[in-house]
Structure 1
Amino acid sequence: MAKKSEMEKMHQSSRRFLSLLYTLGGLTAGLSTGDIVDDEMMGYTLDTSGKPSKTTKQSRKKKFARDREVLSALGFNVEQPTTQGSKPTDERRWKVRMPPAPYCLKGSKDKAQREHLQLMVDEIKAYLDKSDDPQKDVLWRAAVKIACVAGNVEDLLSEEKPRRAAELDAVRTINRALSNCRAFVFDYRNAAGRLTKKRSVKIYGLFSQDGKQYFSGFDDARNDTRTFRIDRVSRVYALGDPYEMPDNFDVNARRFFSLDASDMKPVDAVFSFPQSVLQEEIASITMGAGSIEAVNGKTYWKKTVRNLDAAADLCLGHAQCGMRPEGPEALVSLWREKAGRAVEKNE
């Protein structure tokens, strides 16, 4: 069994691997070397206790290089895509190339390595169990592949199969309900964990956002148009009554539904993105809502919101690409509080 100091180092490296797989495997644009080794959320500026360290940037780069070697040995190639004749530089963006499926390796014979790999799997699983992560599928695939090498993938897969089956059943029934204009009847567990049974919704549209799937439609019980997350559907029933699709429904207008889910007075929220983030990445996050302005290399997004809590969550969900709240002060304070709690959960 590893000593306490060794376990702390293993936990720290596991969290860095988790951040790399999450960020570089989920972002379209990837991140530069500076983005990775200078960002506190990536783990390279922290010591084993989770506090800021006094390491130099060069030593952080060396640690990043060692982490790339470890991940590469597991089949996750962290690389900088280059064109012919170009050379890797700090400014070029790193991406993770996932191993092709099927990914089947025999369990490692090295006991210490298996222990470290299992710790990585446990870190990922614990993170996913306590969060609704927008990149959970990326992390889940990573956990399965690492568990293959650790020699303990069967237990991991057996835990996931029931949830996957329920979600796929919901997707099939939702598509059938929408194509036949028949009400979708289902049990639903909201973000607070409260279960409501046999809700009936006339589905008007489907959309994906931040790696999750949603459906919007008229909720008979609430007598209003609502939006639901598909992976929170716990059970489906036979299709309900037929209905007619409204002519003026715009599903894109529902994409930021959570930001308006409040009776508070609307305010202008302002978010910023660093110069290193590509405009395509920003467009995929903002989706044409609000207004965009570039000032001194930064990009600013202004969007009217009612729910500052949801706005802070949205910003935190894209923290890895450098998205930060700029105002109002109540939003900035709320984001800092949530970011602090997120760091504490992963310590």
Structure 2
Amino acid sequence: MAPNDQTLGNNELGAWRIFSLFMLLLQKGPLPSAEIYTAIYSDLSTDSALRTFSRDRAVLKQLGFAITEVKTGKEKSFYLSDSNFFDSSYDLSPEDANQLLVICSAVLTDTTFVYQEKLRNALSKIVGNFYSSDSGKPDSKKLSASSQSKVFPVLYESLSSKQLVNVTYTNSQDQIKQKRLGVLDFFVSQGLLYFVGQDFSSGTESASIKTFRIDRVLDAAILKDEHFSIPKAFNSNDYNLLDFQLGSQAGTLVAFVPKNILAAFEHFSQGQGDVELLSNGALWTVAYAHENTALSWILAHGLIPRFPESLLAKWKESLSEVANGR
């Protein structure tokens, strides 16, 4: 069945037939086999129509659209199930959702990008719907997830419009604080989404730049006509910290990096700290906020701590427990 009576080659005719079958099932369904054969395969014999329809179904299945058959009386009917239109294996993971937001943040702050607002709205819906889905989540996490779906678009509006945002935030001590922030950037660490914000809560002259976890934001609202500007010396890489660095600095650690993992270390250390190359590896000096988290990070990545003594003692204890099977 060629469009507009055009003459098509075999490949073109096959493609057009498959497309016609897809569109027919997309608009109606379930459709009896007789109606499908009349509409799509009328120029073929009964046996040829059966074989061709079977091949066309296989092609559509390869494209991600399986045709389901049901028995309706003495005749079979066919339809495209709604489940065909989204493969759950491609569902967003928490890491995917966070990375999507971070990747797009540069475009969202580019005033020359004419679809800035539309992209921001689309991201709010895509990622917001992901975080607001309560299925399979314990009750303790549902409030946080719902809250995130509401605050994402507000924080992005602050980032793109350079307007201050009033944030209700729960800190690491579970204290609820009200803050006036200017959102400067977003980043991901250990699967969690953070944002960098300039804190104007105590006045603009002493505004400090801090990192905040998005899942700790309970509410956010744009403060109309209260604008801020990004500091000239601001560099987002200075705030894209490792998980054990997030928080108030508690000290500085020194760790030995074996030579055989130096290449990998350059990747997973994210450029944090200072590196002194040695003949057999390197010494890494970096600030930390949480000693136990730093220990877990060092153990996971195969580093050997040298300082502080408390961290070295915990590291030796951990290795002893592993050696003794505890």
Q: TM-score range by the shorter chain?
A: 0.3 to 0.5
Q: Could you tell me the TM-score, scaled by structure 1's length? A: 0.45
Question: Which has more strand, going by share of residues?
Answer: 2
Query: Whose Rg is larger?
Result: 2
Q: Say which structure, 1 or 2, has more relative contact order (CA 8 Å, 6+ apart).
A: 1
Q: Could you tell me the TM-score, scaled by structure 2's length? A: 0.47
